[in-house]
Amino acid sequence: MSEFPSFVSPRLEPAEVVSGTPPALDLPSIISPSFTPLDTLPSTPNPIPVTKDYEPVPSLPETLPEVECLVRARIPTTTGTEIFLHLYKNNVDEKEHLAIVFGNDIRSKSLDRVREGETEMDRMIRGAYVGRLYPGRQTSKEDPKLASGDAHPDHKSTLVRIHSECYTGETAWSARCDCGEQLDEAARLMAKENHGVVVYLRQEGRGIGLGEKLKAYNLQDLGADTVTANLLLRHPADARSYSLATAILLDLGQTEIRLLTNNPDKIAAVEGKHREIKVTDRVPMVPLAWKHDDAGIRSKEVEGYLKTKIERMGHLLDKPF
């Protein structure tokens, strides 16, 4: 691991390379997300108000999926921030989709709903409690022993990232995409506000699955771009759906959000066919390498990937190539 060059992971700070030989890196035992989020980077980028009404996508479902939060748990992270991880089931697929929640004031309606025959201990074990757990606690209800202070002080709409699973970018240190960097950057921004939601959807490879995605990588090495590779495999350029994200956000009580995205199509998709959610602002996700000399992912693959997203998928990024 110490021999990995600095660019291999969106979560490693770039290191100077002398004579083409990567120096040894003093890595922590858990690589992500220790290095990015970076405390030295600025706070939330300037939001762009969404003043245009995006036309609903015709393929959006009339009725949103049914979702239920089965369990949540407090997760202390390597950066010192605490999050609440929510696990959801739904009536559309058999996958376990997730909501990563920053701040203790964002509650799941389906999780808090009383279930027949359950005890107070049952409720605490599945995470349907208010405040914090501690040894000897007897009730899931608000505990007067615990100071409040979790309320979100300002009234800005919640910062939200809809993130699709990317094993290669988040776990395998891939420099083919910026998915891992975007996840870490979203976490950093939400931690600064101590408020926000990452809806983590299990739709690997823009919805085609990991195996087909790896085939697409081989096609890219043969000269295809990320869109053409999917089409050659007889998949849509983007097979993802966001109706589950809309349903999860509504379960979390989020009806007005600031959306971290460069993808204008995602705004209409997340708002839903009947505008169940209002995106008040789009917060750009500019690659760190474009803003800083000593941060972000640098490779010909990621440059080609971003170029294709701008030129062929309409992503809202300004970068001369």
State the catalytic residues: 238, 240
Q: How far is 161 from 191, CA to CA, in rounded Å?
A: 13
Residue found under tokens 């959610």: 277
Cβ(250)–Cβ(229) below 8 Å: no
Cβ(207)–Cβ(240) below 8 Å: yes
Q: Is 214 helix (H, G, I), strand (E, B) or coil?
A: helix
Residues 6+ apart with CB under 8 A from 190: 102, 159, 161, 196, 197, 198
Cβ(73)–Cβ(104) below 8 Å: no
Half-sphere exposure of 34 (CA within 13 A, CB side): 8
Q: How far is 69 from 199, CA to CA, in rounded Å?
A: 12
Cβ(25)–Cβ(2) below 8 Å: yes
DSSP states along 90-143: ESS-S--EEEEEESTT---HHHHS--TT--HHHHHHTT--SS---TT---SSPP
**DSSP E strand boundaries for 273-321:** 278-283
